[in-house]
Amino acid sequence: MEKTQKKQKTIAVFDFDGTLINRDSLPDFLIRTFGWPAFLIRLPLILAMKIVAICHILPVHTAKEKIFTSFFRNMKTEDFATACKQYALRIPRLVYPAALNEIQNHLDTGHEVIIISASVPDWIRPWAETKGIHTVEGTELEIKNGVLTGCFATPNCKGEEKVRRLRKLFPDIATHTLYVYGDSSGDCELLALADVPFYKPFRNNR
């Protein structure tokens, strides 16, 4: 009897910001949606929250949430959905061509492709669907009475939270072959879990 178990299927997990696209989508989305004046007015808050997070004065989750609250609080869900769809039209200009080729290679081989990002998935999903990616996990925003509260409905999706999301989707992940593509410390735990890890794989192949 064979001692090694054949893997059931192959899963390819991609980070989004800095891995699939050439920037952090959050500030780009904020500028495109709210405009430069609104962004610059809040820039001191953004920089302050980055500093307190780096210095561990506040958890990253809390600091990031305060930035989101300053922009999204009381925004209607339909306005948010429209902004996300509009931003998705911009994403093709930001994607690394080599990343698109890699996604297509996985899909053509019959692999399951998913995105797990620290960003809000709402502005990733419309683009992902056009590429045949039907599962996008990220930091979800809280909604009450048809408006955004500015708070998070889930933990900030980075580090161990990315692994937790993957295990929730695939409780038997150990029985699958896992490819992981990432570019930052927030992807380290996922990369460590991978059978085939790739760190910053597309930046030199634009």
Which tens digit of pLDDT belongs to each residue from 42-86?
999 999 999 999 999 999 999 999 999 999 999 999 999 999 999
Q: What is the pLDDT of residues 93-125, one digit of tens each?
A: 999 999 999 999 999 999 999 999 999 999 999
Is there a contact between 95 and 21 (Cβ–Cβ < 8 Å)? yes
Among 1-10, 47-56, 186-195, the range scoring the smallest mean pLDDT is 1-10
Residue 62 pLDDT: 95
Chain centre distance of CA 156: 10
Exposure string of 74-99, with b = 16+ CB inside 10 Å and e = fewer, is ebeeeebeebbeebbeebeeebbeeb
d(CA 18, CA 153): 24
Exposure string of 49-71, with b = 16+ CB inside 10 Å and e = fewer, is beebbeeeebebbebbbbbbbbb
- Alpha carbons within 13 angstroms on the beta-carbon side of residue 63 total 17
Q: What is the pLDDT of residues 15-38, one digit of tens each?
A: 999 999 999 999 999 999 999 999
Residue 5 pLDDT: 56
Average pLDDT on 156-160 reads 96
Chain centre distance of CA 14: 8
Indicate the average pLDDT of the chain. Answer: 94
d(CA 60, CA 74): 23
